[in-house]
Structure 1
Amino acid sequence: MEEEEGVTSSNQPDTRISSPFLWRGDSYPPILDSETPDHLERIRSLGIPYIFDIHTHFFPETVMKLIWRWFDNVNWAIGYRLPEKERVERLHHNGIERFTTLNYAHKIGMASSLNDWTYANFSNWKGAIPFGTFYPEEGVLTYVKKAVETYGFCGFKLHCEVSKLNLNRPELADTFEYLQKKQIPILIHTGTAPLPGEFTGIQFFQPFLETYPNLKVIVAHMGAHEISAYASLLATYPNLGLDTTMVFVDFLATGKAEDVDAAVSYLETYQDQIYFGSDFPNIPYNLNHPITRLLDLPMSDLAKQKILYQNAENLFFK
C-alpha cells in the first residue's frame, strides 16, 4: 500500500505524540494497512465470513474535509485521508464487507440534504448499509418517513455532542415514536468521550430510553466515559446495544486504560447486544488494530462471532 497524504512515514514526525488524548504504552500502532492484514485468517478460523462494521462515516467531501481539519487541530491523525472510492476499497481489504453510512447534522436545514446525498451515492459503495440522520426542526418527521419509506434507509445516526442535541426535546417525540413503531435502529453518540457536550451523558440518555423503551438504540463508543452506566441498562432494555468503536484500542480517547480494561467483561456477558465499530475513516491507526485487539480479548469464540458479524446481521436482515 502506498502512503496517503497527511499520514506519518519514516521521515515524518508522528504528530500523534503531541495529541492531547493519551495512548497506552510507549509505541503507536501503524497507520497504514499491511498488504495482507493478519486478522483475516483469524476471523475465517472462527467461521466469520466477513466483518460487519456498524460505525463508519460517509460525508460529502466538503464536510468531510472540515471534520478532518478539526482532528488536525488536536493532532488526531486521520489514517484514511483518501478519496471515497479508495476508502471503500480499504474496508474490503480488511474483510469489512458490510458497513454503515453514518453522518449527522449540526444545524437546521442540513439533515434532509445529507439524506438526499446519501441516497444518491450509497449504491456506489459496495456493502454499504444506508443510514440517515435528523435534527429537531420543522418537517423532521416528514423527511424521516421519506428516508425510510422511499429511500429504504436501514437506520439513523445522531450525535448529541456535535449537534448540541437533547434527545428529550419534544420536537422529536413523533419521530422517535415512528422509528420505535417501525423498529428502525438509531445509532447515537450520547457519551462524554472524547469530549463532553451540553447534552451528553447518562443523565440525558436514561430518561430518553425510559420514554421509548422499545426503540432500537445502539450507543456509540459503549457510552464512554460512562461505560458501566450504559452497560447497566442492557439487561432491562433488550433493544439497547453498545458499539465497540475506539474502546478496546491503544488510543485512549474513550477512557483511561483501567476503565477500558474493566469493560472487557461486558463483551461476554452481553454478547448479543454488542456490535463492532471502527469510526473509519477518522482513526489514527489502521483497521487491523481494533479488530486484532478485539480478537485478543479474553472472551469466547461465540462472542467474537456475534460482535464482529452476527449481531449486526440479525439487526438488519433477520
Structure 2
Amino acid sequence: MTHSTVIADTEERAAVRGVWEDLGLPGLVDVHTHFMPDNVLRKVWAYFDALGDGVWPITYRDDEDTRVERLRSFGVRRFTSLFYPHRPGMARWLNGWAADFAARTPECLRGATFYPEPGAGDYTEQAVADGARVFKAHLQVGAYDPRDPHLDRVWGVLAESGVPVVVHCGSGPLAGPFTGPGPFAEVLRRHPRLTAVVAHAGSPEYGAFLDLAERYERVHLDTTMVFTDFTERAAPFPEDELPRLRALGDRVLLGTDYPNIPYPYLHQLRALTRLGLGRDWLRAVLHDNGARLFDLPPARM
C-alpha cells in the first residue's frame, strides 16, 4: 500500500465515521457485503475485469484481513459474508467456509446459502440450527427458478425460523431467466412470513418490489448501489417513488456491495444522504433497522 493510499484511506475513514456520528448513531449495520473463499472472490473480480477497461473497477481489491479491518475502521458494527453457488454441490462447502469466517470475525453475521438440489432443505435446516444469521440467494448468477420444488422446504425453513434471506431477484445489472418480480412474488405467496431482503431495492424494477414490500410485512429492501452516480446512469430510481420509500423507512436497510464496488464506500452513504428523506429515515436505514432485524445488543457509546 502506497503512502498516498494510506492518506486516502485515512480521509475516507474519517468521513464515513463523520456521517454516522453526525446522526448520533453508534455505527453502521451493512447487510450486503461480500466475503468468500479467496479463489471464488478472485473469479468474481475476474468477471468484472472482463467487462473492459474502467467499466467496473474494484475499489477495494485487498487481502481479506485488510478488507475486514477497513470495515471496522469505518465503524461498521455488523456486516455480512454474502456468497452464492452457481452449480450443485457448492452450497455445503461455502456454508462451511462461512462458519469458520464468522467464528474468527465477530462483527460478521454468519452467512449461508443454498441451491435447488437434493438435500437443500436438510442442509438449510442444519445451517439454521448451527447458527446461521442470514442467507443469500442470487437468482441471476445461479440462474435458477426460486419456485423449484427442491427449494420449497428451504423457503419454509427460513419462513418458520425468521432468519433473513437476501435475495438478488431484480433484473439488474443483467436480466436472467428467473429475475424480475414475478418468480419471487410467487415464492412470497406460498411463504408470506418469509423475512426477505430484496437486494439493490429490486433494481431496475423498483416500483414492483416496493409493491411487494407494501404487501408483505417481512419484506425489506437494501440500498446496495442504489442512488449512486454509477447506478443512476443505468437504472435511476424514479423520483416519484421516493415517498413510498420514505413510508417504508422501517424496512429499508443499508447495503453497499463492499468490496466489489466501482467507487468509494463513502459514496453510498452520501448518495442516501442527498435524497433528503430526513435524519430519522437515515438513522433507521444506516443502523437501527439492521440492529433490530438482527437483534443486536446495545452499542457501547
TM-score under structure 1 normalisation?
0.86
Structure 2: runs of 5 or more not aligned: 297-301
Change (3 A) 1:253 1:194: farther
Q: Deviations over 1:89-130 (max 9, x none)?
A: 111222212101100100000000000011112222241001
Over residues 13-39 of structure 1, what are the superposed CA-to-partner deviations in whole Å (9 max), with x where a residue is unaligned?
Answer: xxxxxxxxxxxxxxxxxx966354324
* Helix, strand or coil at the partner of 1:229: helix
Q: Any idea what SS the aligned residue of 1:285 has?
A: coil
Contact 2:201–2:221 (CA under 8 A) maintained in structure 1 = yes
Letter in 1 for 2:70: R
Give secondary structure in 1 for the equivalent of 2:294.
helix
Structure 2 matches for 1:124-203, cutoff 5 A? 124-150=104-130, 152-203=131-182
Once residues 242 and 224 of structure 2 are traced to their aligned partners in structure 1, the CA distance between those partners, rounded to angstroms, is 13
- Is 1:297 the equivalent of 2:279? no
Shift of 1:42: 3.1
Shifted more, 37-46 versus 62-71: the winner is: 37-46
1:81 maps to which of 61, 81, 90: 61
Deviates more, 1:300-309 or 1:37-46: 37-46
Task: Flag the 1:315–1:3 CA change in 2: closer, same or farther, 3 A.
Answer: farther
Change (3 A) 1:170 1:275: same
Say if 2:94 is the partner of 1:114. Answer: yes
Q: Distance in 1 between matches of 2:287 and 2:262?
A: 23
Identity among equivalent positions (%) equals 35
The equivalent of 2:256 in structure 1 is: 278
Q: Deviations over 1:179-229 (max 9, x none)?
A: 111111111000000111111001212111111111100100000110011
Equivalent residues of 1:193, 1:255 under 8 A apart: no
Judged with a 3 Å threshold, the aligned counterparts in structure 2 of structure 1 residues 288 and 92 are, in CA distance, closer, same or farther, namely: same
Counterpart Cα distance in 2 of 1:244 and 1:87: 20
Please tell me whether residue 96 in structure 1 is matched to residue 73 in structure 2. no
1:233 to 212, 218, 225: 212
Q: Is 2:46 the partner of 1:66? A: no
- Choose 221-230 or 200-209, whichever is displaced more: 200-209
Q: Give the alignment partner of residue 314 of structure 1, picking from 288, 292, 301.
A: 292
**Aligned partners of 2:25 and 2:250: how far apart in 1?**
16
Shift in CA distance, 231/37, structure 1 to aligned 2, threshold 3 Å: same
* 95 and 265 in structure 1: CA distance in 2 versus 1, 3 angstrom threshold: farther
Match 1:47 to one of 4, 7, 24: 24
Contact 2:252 2:285 in 1 (8 A): yes
**Aligned pair in 2 of structure 1 residues 37, 190: CA closer, same or farther (>3 Å)?**
same
Aligned to 1:287: 265
Contact 2:135 / 2:164 at 8 angstroms: preserved in 1?
yes
Q: 3-state SS of the aligned residue for 1:103?
A: coil
Deviation at 1:238, TM superposition (A): 0.6
TM-superposed CA distance for 1:177, in Å, is: 0.9
Structure 1: give runs of 5+ residues left out of the alignment: 10-30
Contact 2:28–2:76 (8 Å) recurs in 1 = yes
Say what the alpha-carbon RMSD is for the aligned residues: 2.0
Distance 1:262 1:193, change over 3 A: farther
Partner letter of residue 246 of structure 1? M
2: distance between equivalents of 1:3 and 1:279?
Answer: 26
Could you tell me which residue of structure 2 aligns to residue 123 of structure 1? 103
- Partners of 1:59 and 1:33 lie apart in 2 by 26
Aligned residues: 291
Would you say the 8 A contact 1:193–1:225 is kept in 2? yes
Q: Which aligned segments of 4 or more residues in structure 1 are displaced greater than 2 angstroms?
A: 1-4, 31-37, 123-126, 253-257, 259-267
Q: Which amino acid aligns with 2:212?
A: L
Letter paired with 2:254: F
Shift in CA distance, 3/193, structure 1 to aligned 2, threshold 3 Å? farther
- Larger relative helix fraction: 2
C-alpha change, 1:104 and 1:132, in structure 2 (3 Å) is: same
- Is the Cα–Cα contact under 8 Å of residues 57 and 279 in structure 1 kept in the other structure? yes
Deviations 1:148-176 (A, max 9, x none): 112x1112100000001211111111111
